[in-house]
Amino acid sequence: MRVTVILERKGDGRLMSVIETNYKELFHQSSMPRMVVCSRMADDGEFRVLDANTAAAAYFHFEEDGFKGQKLSHFTDCANSDHILQALNVCKQSKTPISIQVLPKIPGEIHVQAFLLNPVLNDDGEVSCIDMQARPPANDQVAVERERDDAISMFTTVFDLSEVAISVTDHHGRFVRLNDAFIRQTGWQTIDLIGEKLTKIIPTEDHEEAWKRHALALENARRDFGEIRILRPDSSVIYVMTTSVMLELSNGRSFHVTTCVDITELKRAKDIADDANKAKSAFLANMSHELRTPLNAIIGFSEMMINGTLGKIDNEHYVDYLGDIRFSAKHLLQIINDVLDMSKIEAGKMPLDEEDIHVSNLIDSVVRLMNARAIQGHVTLTQIIPVETSILVVDERLVRQVFLNIISNAIKFSPEESEIVITTELKDSDLCVVIRDTGIGIKEDRLKEIMEPFGQVNDPRLNKGQGTGLGLPIAKAMMEMHGGSLVVESTQGEGTTVTCCFPSSRVKQTKTIDI
């Protein structure tokens, strides 16, 4: 096919130029992908390629000489194949040109935004083939405007539909936009707030703080977090957690965007919890005085009577009863002390009185304190201190209590003629005190239980005294107060190992001692 183009200036009748251009050259030299596909589909329901230019070969990744008669689907990717096939069918049936968008990609370094499908009709008015011509992307300005419009539409939708309350104020602190969630949360109507200053919904006593935060946001243009009170139309007050950021737009315009989350119920729950905690602290303080004072008197007088300070008691049954009274009073006093210690730790009101302590001396003092109980239970306490031992910066009273609680448990649940071994070791610069026994042990699935306050694992095989279930939880909490850890490992029927590790920051120095 040849196309003749004649250019002629009217008036003087002078012929400017006559150009004959080969249509195939125009087709193949086009910089954009272009191909002709057969309008009659094959038996398999697919269109086949009749001709294609060099740009189409590069775009669809096929050899320029081996495409004729091939299925179009061989050259289109999965994402675009069905879309293009449907469009070709529509073009054939409607006999009208149509344009289709393709998924954004740049295969062969050719950027195509769409294809124009143009049907070629024969003498009978039927579609004989379809010309597929790629359309280049729109110019940058149009693309930018389209992206801008899409972004505005998307963020407007997010703003309006968000379940989080959002407000926008200008640099003067006046409301310029509010979403529906803000209206529902605060109870105000949009018409009542637009153009009004933000302090309209802030209690009077908080105005100064609100303007200060607004000014800082304008000055620093940074994200800000905080908690404020909002005044509702009915004069009630809600507490909200806010996150705000300053947006700088064109022409020097600044807007303050703030999200609000209602925390009123959380605030009330916290106030109730604080009140309950204060009541608990007051109760424990009262219990400390009201219970410990008479218990100390009971313990003291029972010991006087047992020792016969004011005269010997001849009836042995009375002496036994007095021993039971003293034991019960001491046990109750220990429970009270444990409960008070646990309460202080939970409230964060147990300060550390830190000093330099030799680990070997501390362990030796604990063993001496527990030796009488060990002898009574026919259990041996053994210290195996390595050649190197350390000085710790800790609260001596609390750390001693940790070891006393652990060793007391070990004695209680160890059979007669067994041994409890206390040793120290270094693990990655941390100093660990390890206490091992060969007692009854604990099932693995019960280990978490004994670390909970009042958690106990009773064993009918041994009954060496009652416990509160607070010894290990208190010991663990005291170790954590020092930045350390307490880990329990146990095998039922074989024994238990408790490892107390102090961080390297508390290991002041190491010294060599003779065993």
Q: pLDDT category, 202, cuts 50, 70, 90?
A: very high
**Higher confidence at residue 447 or residue 420?**
420
Is the pLDDT at 296 greater than 50, yes or no? yes
Of 82-91, 184-193, 225-234, the least confident? 82-91
pLDDT value for 98 = 86
Q: For the chain, what percent of residues have pLDDT higher than 90?
A: 19
Q: CA nearest 98: which of 112, 111, 88, 107?
A: 88
Q: pLDDT category, 104, cuts 50, 70, 90?
A: low
**Mean pLDDT across 319-332:** 83
Task: Considering only CA atoms, give the Rg of the chain.
Answer: 44
**Higher confidence at residue 161 or residue 218?**
161
pLDDT value for 501 = 93
SS3 49: strand
Q: What is the pLDDT of residues 453-489, one digit of tens each?
A: 776 665 544 445 556 677 888 889 889 989 999 999 9
**Mean pLDDT across 338-344:** 74
Phi-psi region of 69 (alpha: psi -120 to 50; beta: other; left: phi over 0): left
**Higher confidence at residue 20 or residue 70?**
70
Q: What is the pLDDT of residues 106-129, one digit of tens each?
A: 444 567 778 888 998 888 888 888
Of 181-185, 385-389, 443-447, 467-471, the least confident? 385-389
Is the pLDDT at 45 greater than 70, yes or no? no
pLDDT value for 144 = 64
pLDDT value for 15 = 43
Q: What is the DSSP string of 67-105?
A: -TT-BGGGTS-HHHHHHHHHHHHHHHHHTS-EEEE----
**Higher confidence at residue 24 or residue 169?**
169
Is the pLDDT at 14 greater than 50, yes or no? no
**Mean pLDDT across 346-353:** 75
pLDDT value for 236 = 92
- Rounded to whole angstroms, the Cα distance separating 255 from 253 reads 7
Q: CA nearest 366: which of 329, 407, 334?
A: 407
**Higher confidence at residue 381 or residue 428?**
381
Is the pLDDT at 239 greater than 90, yes or no? yes
Q: pLDDT category, 21, cuts 50, 70, 90?
A: low
**Mean pLDDT across 208-220:** 83
Average confidence score pLDDT of the chain: 80
Q: pLDDT category, 13, cuts 50, 70, 90?
A: very low
pLDDT value for 458 = 57
CA distances from 56 to 83, 118, 169 (A): 18, 16, 53
Q: What is the pLDDT of residues 488-499, one digit of tens each?
A: 998 888 889 999
Strand order in the sheet with 430-437: 380-384, 419-427, 430-437, 495-502, 485-491
- Rounded to whole angstroms, the Cα distance separating 202 from 169 reads 14
Question: Residue 510: beta bridge partners?
Answer: 390
pLDDT value for 18 = 45
pLDDT value for 460 = 45
Is the pLDDT at 3 greater than 70, yes or no? no
pLDDT value for 461 = 46
- Rounded to whole angstroms, the Cα distance separating 320 from 318 reads 5
Is the pLDDT at 335 greater than 80, yes or no? no
Q: What is the pLDDT of residues 58-85, one digit of tens each?
A: 887 777 677 777 887 777 766 677 778 8
C-alpha of 474 from chain center: 29
Q: Which stretch, 22-26, 27-31, 230-234, has highest mean pLDDT?
A: 230-234
pTM over 0.85: no
Q: pLDDT category, 5, cuts 50, 70, 90?
A: very low
pLDDT value for 110 = 67
φ, ψ at 350 (rounded to 5°): -115, 95
